[in-house]
A = this chain, B = another copy of it.
Amino acid sequence: MKRKIRMGMIGGGRDSFIGAIHRIAANMDGQIELVCGCFSSSPEKSQKSGYDLYLPDDRIYTSYQQMIEEESKLPENVRMDFVSIVTPNYLHFHPAMMALEYRFHVVLDKPMTFTLKEAYALQKKVEESRLLFALTHTYTGYPMIKEAKERVRRGDLGKIRRIYVQYTQGWLSDDIAESNKQASWRVDPNRSGKAGCMGDIGTHAFNLANYITGLDVDEISAELNSFVPNRELDDDGVVLIRYKGGARGMLSATQIAVGEENKLNIQIYGEKGGLEWHQEEPNTMIMKWKDRPKEIIRTSSGYMSPSSLHNSRTPAGHPEGYIEAFANIYRNFANALQHLLQGEDISVVEKDFPSAEDGVKGMQFIEYVVESSSNNTKWIKITE
């Protein structure tokens, strides 16, 4: 008997930006219901947040440990199926490990963990558990990115030569750590990790290029900068990437570009063609060719590939956005979980969402970028 998937949530209380986005994304397609949560380290705040969300008192918890333990004791047709973890980076690893330990599937915000070592351990745990694990690299959820992947992988552009990916924001161009909750933990090495901007948004850019092309890194050369006085972590940087097989990448990320919002752009060029996509206008992609006109590719058009159409909800010209991209991760996760609930094996279920492996790659990226930035040898080889 088909039923809705039951979600619990760790983090994401009243003043969280990303928690609300996760919930909208999970709600949207009517397949998932929020059944419990521990929304804050403050019990009172957790309670109020749960009340806002129409949860009964007994499913609002005061710690993630309590939630995981109590939920595991509930009857199978009541307890949550999976937990969504939306805490700051330094609080990713332990709740995720414990949830898996107690046999709950996991959706985890990126970057995967606080350290690379944790990432390896969590990846191992995920593999052993044979449970579902999704990392919310939102941008891979866009239908146009599914299309880009499809087209690059099937060779429309020919052998890939050159990748430019730029993630340009301006909201941290001043020191706003005290006044802005989103900013305060991101610029704090004790809560964010080794990298600031590069960990927060550079990893998205890195993941996007990897998702579309499938190319892995051979060597990198990085420069990290910190422009705002007294900022401990980077707020800007550039990474040159030599991909295995000969492609070259240029990745920039900055959070001090005054006036920029969330400008994630990617251009990829192969021997036969090129493509260009801008996150702020996500339903359009430009394809470039040698001896014929550029083409404007638009989501939901009849000529789109099945994987892109499958991740679209509206007809062409009715713009979908960031929330729908986010929702695609939840929807594809819920679809996979439905198949598991109906007895399919995890090894054959389609998992069209970012994985623990993607998470580990992101943590390696942070590790090597920080290392490269601090020494004067140009190229550093990525070894796993």
Most B Cβ at <10 Å: residue of A166, A223, A290, A321: A321
The stretch among A104-112, A113-121, A258-266, A344-352 that forms the contact with chain B is A258-266
Query: A261 touching B317 by the CB < 8 A rule?
Result: yes
Q: How far is the CB of A175 from chain B (nearest CB, A)?
A: 12
Within 8 A of B (CB), among A285-311: 286-298, 301-303
Contact with B along A313-334 (1 / 0, CB 8 A): 1111111111110000000000
A382: Cβ under 8 A from any B Cβ: no
Within 8 A of B (CB), among A247-286: 248, 250, 252, 254, 256-263, 267, 269-274, 279-283, 286
A24: Cβ under 8 A from any B Cβ: yes
Which single member of B51, B164, B322, B376 contacts A377 (CB below 8 Å)?
Answer: B376
Query: A164 touching B290 by the CB < 8 A rule?
Result: no
Q: How far is the CB of A287 from chain B (nearest CB, A)?
A: 7
A240: Cβ under 8 A from any B Cβ: yes
Closest residue of B by beta carbon distance from A223: B240
Q: A258-B272, A281-B281 are in contact. Are A223 and B248 (CB under 8 A)?
A: yes
Query: B17 touching A28 by the CB < 8 A rule?
Result: no
Docked CA distance A168–B286 (Å): 15
A53: Cβ under 8 A from any B Cβ: yes
Q: How far is the CB of A169 from chain B (nearest CB, A)?
A: 7
Query: B290 touching A286 by the CB < 8 A rule?
Result: no
Which residues on B sit within 8 Å (CB–CB) of A376?
Answer: 377-379
A20: Cβ under 8 A from any B Cβ: yes
A187: Cβ under 8 A from any B Cβ: no
A227: Cβ under 8 A from any B Cβ: yes
Query: A258 touching B270 by the CB < 8 A rule?
Result: yes
Query: B316 touching A261 by the CB < 8 A rule?
Result: yes
Docked CA distance A269–B29 (Å): 37
Closest residue of B by beta carbon distance from A174: B290
Query: A288 touching B378 by the CB < 8 A rule?
Result: no
Docked CA distance A314–B225 (Å): 28
Which residues on B sit within 8 Å (CB–CB) of A323?
Answer: 28, 313-314, 318, 320, 323-324
Docked CA distance A319–B27 (Å): 18
Query: B296 touching A293 by the CB < 8 A rule?
Result: yes
A161: Cβ under 8 A from any B Cβ: yes
A236: Cβ under 8 A from any B Cβ: yes
A154: Cβ under 8 A from any B Cβ: no
A170: Cβ under 8 A from any B Cβ: yes
Instruction: Show the binding face of A for B, using Cβ within 8 Å.
Output: 2-4, 17, 20-21, 23-24, 27-30, 34, 51, 53-54, 157, 161-162, 164, 166, 168-170, 173-174, 221, 223, 225, 227, 236, 238, 240, 248, 250, 252, 254, 256-263, 267, 269-274, 279-283, 286-298, 301-303, 313-324, 375-379
What are the 3 A-B residue pairs with the smallest beta carbon separation, nearest first?
A: A259-B288, A261-B317, A262-B317
Pairs A–B under 8 Å by Cβ, sample size 11 = A164-B252, A223-B248, A250-B250, A250-B252, A259-B289, A259-B294, A261-B315, A281-B319, A291-B302, A294-B295, A319-B322
